[in-house]
Amino acid sequence: MSQIEASKGHAGSLLPLNTEDKLNILVVVEPGVDGVFRHVEGLVDMLLKRGTRINLAYSSQRCSTAMFQLVERVRASGGQVLDLRVSNVPELGDIPAFFRLLGLIRRTRPDVVHAHSSKAGALGRFAALILRHPRCIYSPHAYYGMAKPLTIKVRFYNWVERMLGKFGTTVAISNDEANFANKVLGVRFERIRIIHNPVETARFVPASPEMRRAAREALGIPQQAVVLAIIGRMCWQKDPETAYAGVAPVCRKNSDMLFLHLGWGKWKEYLLDCAKQLGLVPQLRIIDYTDDPRVFYSAIDALIVSSRYEAGWPLVFLEALACNLPVIAATCMGMSDVGKANLSHVWTFPSENIATCTVAVDQWLDAQRKGIHDCNHRGFAIERLSPERCFGAVYSLYLNKPSGGNVSPFE
């Protein structure tokens, strides 16, 4: 057991709705898409319902329709918003963005500055440090240097994280991310809290036969097909190559099987070339990223997560659990404990290992054809991964309560 695991305590849940909440929180976030955004969206909406005053700094460069809708909800609540107009890489535009952020902090005088992901984390923490703001919280949502070779770029990002990690509180979403922060980046244990990602089990639900039929019609999927899916950006971190190569032999042996990819990214043409070489094209469907993936979950039979690293259990994994779907998962950094959770229908394989990925897919398909019974995934999500439990710990952290932080799905 690591020092971080040994130091974990229990966090309090959310209090009943309180429209007279006096907290004033500045949320800084980049990007406005994918799991980072959806985490922030859930947190901000919870805080707005409580009556918390929310101000928001975001970037329109990597954004989504849902992000712009969140911006309008913050405005409608009386909060101030700021478009930083920055990308996820260092650039000259970061300098004016930084000074605009300083101005927002001076105007809004927040009780807490909470920054999400690396670019927002650098700008938000440095601004809070310059202004000697007493409360700054940082959620990395996967450090850039996790599971990567030590290139010059990785060393630079690690150096920035190491310097800024000496300030404020870091909220990791897994033991793996927390241990990386401590052992590689030198963030002290007392500055780290572990708060697992939650999932909205009221929103993500198992599909009824009618929902499944409608979803498949909407996506053009044959009703009798057996459907395995991957959801995520087409990039190195998510390692769709291993998923494609691992799934292809199983598809070749099973003509009724389809492989769906819901995602976007610069690797799309490359992955199509991979699919051609693997003979996977006839059984592959690629669907562009959507702000609301619920119809996608309703249409599929199982999810595969093949990442090289994650901050912790990714939202797509949690949403699949809430939908009571079987999952095939790589035991990469951030997900190394998936096999220890006593989930009934999870098949694991070592990250980047194509052969064992194929074995896991074969095992799932065999179980699927026999019938999936007594799946405990949704019950686990409701009991251990609710927004009340996980976001409640963040709220306690805002209040500087002793119970703030440290929520594990294993407790």
> pLDDT tens digit string along 30-59?
999 888 999 999 999 999 999 999 999 999
The mean-pLDDT minimum among 4-13, 227-236, 331-340 falls in 4-13
Q: How confident is the model at residue 409 (pLDDT cuts 50, 70, 90)?
A: confident
Q: Would you say residue 10 has pLDDT above 90?
A: no
Torsion sign across C-alpha atoms 75, 201, 409, 338? negative
pLDDT computed for residue 22 by the predictor: 85
Q: How confident is the model at residue 147 (pLDDT cuts 50, 70, 90)?
A: confident
Q: For 264-309, what is each residue's pLDDT tens digit?
A: 888 999 999 999 999 999 999 999 877 678 999 999 999 999 999 9
Q: Please indicate whether the domains covering 3-198+386-398 and 209-383 agree at the CATH topology level.
A: yes
* Stated pTM of the model: 0.88
Superfamily of domain 209-383: Glycogen Phosphorylase B; (3.40.50.2000)
Please name which of 197, 201, 200, 191 lies closest in space to residue 397, comparing C-alpha atoms: 191
Strand order in the sheet with 169-172: 81-83, 53-58, 24-29, 112-116, 136-139, 169-172, 192-194
Mean pLDDT of 3-20: 45
The mean-pLDDT minimum among 147-156, 252-261, 351-360 falls in 147-156
Mean pLDDT of 378-397: 94
Token code pair at residue 260: 């769906």
Q: How confident is the model at residue 402 (pLDDT cuts 50, 70, 90)?
A: low
Q: Would you say residue 5 has pLDDT above 90?
A: no
Q: Based on the number of CB atoms within 10 Å of its own CB, is 16 exposed (0-12), middle (13-18) or buried (19 or more)? A: exposed
pLDDT computed for residue 302 by the predictor: 98
Q: Would you say residue 1 has pLDDT above 50?
A: no
Q: Would you say residue 408 has pLDDT above 90?
A: no
Considering the chain, what is the average pLDDT of its residues?
Answer: 92
Architecture of domain 3-198+386-398: 3-Layer(aba) Sandwich (3.40)
Type of residue found at 368: Q
Residue 342: left if φ>0, alpha if ψ -120 to 50, beta else—which one?
left
Q: For 320-329, what is each residue's pLDDT tens digit?
A: 999 999 999 9
Q: For 160-205, what is each residue's pLDDT tens digit?
A: 999 999 999 999 999 999 999 999 999 999 999 999 999 999 999 9
Q: For 108-127, what is each residue's pLDDT tens digit?
A: 999 999 999 999 999 999 99
The H helix count followed by the E strand count for the chain is 15, 13
Q: How confident is the model at residue 9 (pLDDT cuts 50, 70, 90)?
A: very low
pLDDT computed for residue 7 by the predictor: 39
Q: How confident is the model at residue 6 (pLDDT cuts 50, 70, 90)?
A: very low
The residues spanned by each domain of the chain are: 3-198+386-398, 209-383
